[in-house]
């Protein structure tokens, strides 16, 4: 394998350096930061192919800027991040590309309400088990916009509503574009000043180009907030139906969405994510996905942090007999030199065990890098 001169470049990655002074202060309440990040990674299965695996070295350099709004304000804060990544490969140069990543959010609050808006456009070059790819790399483009509001109607009760729109398109492979509209509505009851019980409904519409459309109704109850001094959670469980608007049998399943953090020690934190939901694959297939992911983050010193992550997903394709078992293991560390520079490295193992011909794969990837922000 040939390694271009870019390999002698300083190794870069996406690890945020905190507490940097701004490049420019804009007015009384905004700060502008410049940043450059990137990574050098080796993978033994670039396209996640079952038989004809390609190993390669990938280089990414991403300059960008971040505008942070809200300095000195108590009722408004937000940010706008604009990044443009240059992706290059040592051997498979046909996959060389550039990637946009533009994300913004604005949050504000009043005496009885909190609200926010967000939006962005993200390009990603990464194959997944549910995206159709044959000896190629898929470029996924996602544009999104959303908003939320929560209003306190009494001492104990609040009402909340959110809305989100996603437009997903693909370059490469036999995949279909789709639009996703999601509107969750919840009632909150204050159990303690730091913990709320919830009851709600989420409606989600998925419009698949030249394919089957889906309407999902998720009826749920849950908890959100601080359960104990060391345990916080956002948890929803209930029943969901998926209506097929173009014909076919409707579906239903127990649905769960949960994100929990446990501060095990002063230096160690455990994060646990549980999920069971309907998703739509790259080729437009309806998938019932059940997953668990756990991460443990340990602060070795004020500058050095280590983490380990493991996950498992079971994907049950509703319109066929295909079933996938997907495993991931990751171990990494990051080191912050000062307020400007940080570096990191990690190893990732992925395995997809499928009963569908050509869909199984394994991958080993090692990545190192750094981030500069000013």
Cα separation, 283 vs 356, whole angstroms: 14
Q: Do the bridges between strand 323-336 and strand 304-317 make them parallel or antiparallel, or are there none, so unpaired? A: antiparallel
Q: Tell how far CA 9 is from the center of its chain.
A: 29
| CA neighbor of 189 nearest in space, from 150, 233, 146, 159 | 159
Domain span at residue 65?
5-373
Task: Check whether 15 has a pLDDT greater than 60.
Answer: no
Residue 231 in contact with residue 262, Cβ under 8 Å? yes
- Which two structure tokens, joined as six digits, stand for 5? 């001169």
Residue 93, SS3?
helix
Share of the chain above pLDDT 90, in %: 85
pLDDT at 95: 97
Q: What is the pLDDT of residues 84-129, one digit of tens each?
A: 999 999 999 999 999 999 999 999 999 999 999 999 999 999 999 8
Residue 62 has pLDDT above 50, yes or no: yes
* Residue 12 confidence (pLDDT) above 50: no
10, pLDDT greater than 80 = no
* Whole-angstrom distance, CA of residue 338 vs CA of residue 78: 24
What does the pLDDT look like over 108-120, one tens digit per residue?
999 999 999 999 9
Helix (H, G, I), strand (E, B) or coil at 336: strand
Q: What is the mean pLDDT of residues 333-359?
A: 96
- Tens of pLDDT, residues 170-203: 998 889 999 999 999 999 999 999 999 999 999 9
User: 304-323: per-residue pLDDT in tens?
Assistant: 999 999 999 999 999 899 99
> What is the arithmetic mean of pLDDT over 229-257?
93
Structure tokens at 109: 């609050």
Comparison of pLDDT for 72 and 60, the residue scoring more: 60
pLDDT given at position 3: 40
Per-residue confidence band for 20, with pLDDT thresholds at 50, 70 and 90: low
Over the chain, what is the mean pLDDT? 93
Q: Which of 276-280, 281-285, 291-295 has the lowest mean pLDDT?
A: 281-285
| Residue 261 belongs to domain with CATH number | 2.40.160
Domain count, the chain: 1
CA distances in angstroms from 218 to 121, 131, 204, 237, listed in the order given: 27, 25, 8, 9
pLDDT at 75 over 70: yes
Predicted confidence at residue 249, as pLDDT, reads 79
> What is the rounded average pLDDT of the residues 356-371?
96
Residue 9 has pLDDT above 60, yes or no: no
Q: Note the pTM of the prediction, 2 decimals.
A: 0.90
The pLDDT value recorded for residue 267 is: 97
């Amino acid at each position: 394998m040939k390694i271009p001169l870019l390999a002698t470049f300083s190794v870069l990655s996406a690890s945020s350096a905190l507490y940097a002074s701004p490049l420019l202060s804009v007015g009384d309440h905004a700060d502008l930061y410049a940043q450059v990040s990137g990574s050098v990674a080796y993978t033994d299965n670039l396209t996640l192919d079952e038989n004809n695996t390609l190993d390669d070295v990938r280089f990414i350099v991403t300059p960008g800027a971040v505008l942070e709004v809200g300095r000195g304000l108590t009722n408004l804060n937000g940010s706008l991040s604009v990044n443009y990544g240059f992706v290059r490969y040592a051997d498979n140069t046909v996959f060389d590309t550039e990637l946009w990543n533009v994300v913004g959010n604005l949050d504000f609050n009043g005496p009885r309400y909190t609200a926010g808006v967000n939006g962005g456009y993200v390009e990603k070059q990464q194959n997944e088990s549910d995206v159709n790819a044959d000896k190629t790399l898929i470029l996924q483009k996602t544009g999104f916009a959303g908003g939320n509001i929560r209003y306190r109607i009494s001492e104990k009760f609040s009402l909340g509503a959110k809305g989100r729109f996603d437009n997903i398109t693909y370059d490469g492979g036999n995949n279909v574009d789709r639009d996703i509209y999601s509107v969750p509505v919840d009632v909150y009851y204050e159990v303690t000043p730091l913990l709320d019980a919830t009851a709600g409904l989420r409606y989600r519409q998925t419009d698949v180009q030249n394919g089957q459309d889906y309407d999902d109704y998720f009826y749920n109850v849950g908890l959100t907030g601080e359960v104990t001094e060391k345990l916080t959670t956002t948890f929803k469980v209930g029943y969901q139906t998926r209506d097929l608007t173009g014909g076919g049998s409707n579906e239903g399943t127990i649905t769960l969405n949960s994100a929990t953090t446990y501060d095990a020690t002063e230096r160690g934190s455990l994060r646990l994510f549980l999920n069971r939901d309907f998703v739509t694959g790259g080729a437009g297939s309806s998938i019932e996905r059940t997953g668990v992911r756990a991460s443990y983050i340990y602060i070795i010193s004020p500058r050095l942090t280590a983490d380990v992550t493991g996950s498992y997903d079971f994907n049950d394709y509703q319109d066929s007999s295909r079933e996938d078992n997907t495993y991931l293991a990751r171990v990494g560390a990051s080191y912050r030199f000062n307020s400007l520079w940080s570096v990191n490295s990690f190893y990732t193992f992925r395995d997809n065990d499928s009963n569908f011909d050509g869909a199984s794969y394994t991958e080993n990837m090692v990545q190192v890098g750094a981030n500069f922000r000013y």
